Chains A and B, each alone.
Chain A
Amino acid sequence: MEFEVLGNKDTRSGFGEGLAVLGAQNPNVVALCADLTGSLKMDAFQKAHPDRFFQAGIAEANMIGLAAGMTIGGKIPFTGTFANFSTGRVYDQIRQSVAYSKKNVKICASHAGLTLGEDGATHQVLEDIGMMRMLPNMTVIVPADFNQTKQATIAIAAHDGPVYLRFGRPVMPIFVKPDAEFIIGKADVLTEGTDVTIIACGHMVWKSIEALKTLHEMGISAELINMHTIKPLDEAAILKSVAKTCCVVTAEEHMMNGGLGEAVSQVLSRKHPVPQEYVAVNDTFGESGTPMELMTKYHIDTPDVVAAVQRAIARKV
């Protein structure tokens, strides 16, 4: 199957456009940012709705508390900062004031993973999906491209409850149609296949699409699933696919511990054990470099998807 590239943009810009649409559509949407308005592409919202935009300064703990309090007057707060400062730095604030208290806060996290690039490991969070999916009441969404991030941003405003929305910095190809419907918890099956199921999220969906060409040339029929919602996980889509393919590769820009692969393995081990291979960062911090150099060095690149598919198929009995 051919994927039409509709353009090239960063997913954070999809968030910014989605937030601007929400600002015009829904007077209850408010936004908070911790001194990264430009990086998060929140400028358009800020300019159009200065009364509904709250600059928290470099004080993320306070920002999460403010957002939780803002739900009490019926507002829908969207917080914006880097993924590292959206999760690890404020885990306890999210745990008590957002997740446990079931507050309608949307935690929007940019510059996730290695593709933050040159700033290095201090900023390259690779544990955030794990931290957030462990929290009861939390929905975790990792959209694949610019269009899907915009669609997801708009969709989560209509969902009543805490959401973690993860996106990134690098410019990547756009392949989700601009008018596609985004349904929280409903996976997108991008290609149908019979030899292997590839389950990917975020930037790794495009890397998996790139891998399809090589796999096709190798005579491997791959089913590719864009698992944009990590929690709640679309178990039905996974089980339906592995019933055909009998092996799985998961691909994510995240630590192997705690991420999409681990979520998928929990479904498989309980309901349909099959071989699974992981494309993920394996228990190490990142470093400075360009996004694409880092994806190669840390083995979350296109050839790594291909190799993992070969390993998974070889393990089938």
Chain B
Amino acid sequence: MTRKVQLFSMENTALAGIASQVRRDIVRMVSAVNSGHPGGSLGCTDFLTYLYFEQMQHNANDFQMDGKNEDLFFLSNGHISPVWYSVLARAGYFPLAELGTFRKLGTRLQGHPSTDKNLPGIRMASGSLGQGLSVGLGAAQIKKLNQDSTLVYTLHGDGELQEGQIWEAAMYAAANKVDNIIATIDANGRQIDGDVDEVLSLGDLNQKWLAFGWEVLHMDGHHFDSIRHTMQKAKSLTGKGKPVLIIMKTEMGQGVDYMMGSHKWHGVAPNAEQLQAALDQLQETHGDY
């Protein structure tokens, strides 16, 4: 499954097949070690599947930390590492069997993503929230300095926007016309302690980002047509003097009925019985690891 550069548009059914397998990986990984974050992982599965299998130009079989002349992705909300690890493995960055080492002693698949075990695909540790936008902007500015026309993508939780550093970065990006970055917000409306609106409301997110000088797009994070349309639009908006933000509506726990509609599966792993109930809803399309 290793690919050099993605130049074709995949059928939605093909993407959905990969996403179903990724969701199986996620629930199996967290259940096996009785820890990890399934809710946000399941919610961002369709997005990351699309990003790695259709949107980005990237070298899965020849990972280079410098990432010159390929699109870069930074996961700022590092706790949804299960979905990233699964997508990276399914895209060919490292052997599928390694997913079975998630969170175990000596693994390269740390609870939160890290670079110090040299896992291909990861260029920055994340987990302590709010840092990934700054990192992405730094990488994007150096792409310009290096006359590298590829793009930088970042993903953030909506709860993560409560961190002040995000807004430092948002201000910096517009002021410096960093227009080769596409940041996406996973707007599932939930965080550990409850609904984002109850814990600390973000107010009018659309107006906030507009006021900070960004292009703002909206998409449904569970429909590939919406994702494709919006991501293509976002790409067309790069290079025009403004950073680009996508507010992506998702459902925490998407694909596993008993995890949806609540914040309770943010950081809780299913037990054996719950795991089976989840797997019964998710078709095995590409073979379990």
Contact = CB atoms under 8 A, between A and B. Distances in A.
A38 interface: no
B168 A68 contact: no
Interface residues of A, number: 32
Interface stretch (A95-103, A126-134, A264-272, A292-300): A95-103
Nearest to A90: B165
Given A30-B145, A65-B165, A72-B139, 18 more contacts: A54-B141, A54-B176, A61-B164, A64-B134, A65-B132, A66-B169, A67-B138, A68-B124, A69-B134, A69-B135, A69-B138, A72-B124, A73-B145, A73-B148, A75-B142, A92-B128, A93-B131, A97-B131
A274 interface: no
A52 B145 contact: yes
Contact of A73 (B125, B134, B146, B169): B146
B138 to A, nearest CB: 3
Interface of B: 65-68, 72, 74, 114-116, 123-128, 130-143, 145-146, 148, 164-165, 168-169, 171-172, 175-176
A63 B165 CA distance: 10
Contact of B138 (A59, A68, A95, A100): A68
A101 to B, nearest CB: 5
A64 B148 CA distance: 23
Contact of B141 (A64, A66, A95, A97): A66
A56 interface: yes
Contacts of B172: 56-57, 59, 62, 66
B139 A73 contact: yes
B133 A65 contact: yes
Contacts of A72: 65-67, 72, 123-124, 138-139, 142
Contacts of B133: 65
A77 B141 CA distance: 12
Interface in A100-117: 100-103
B116 A75 contact: no
Nearest to B115: A101
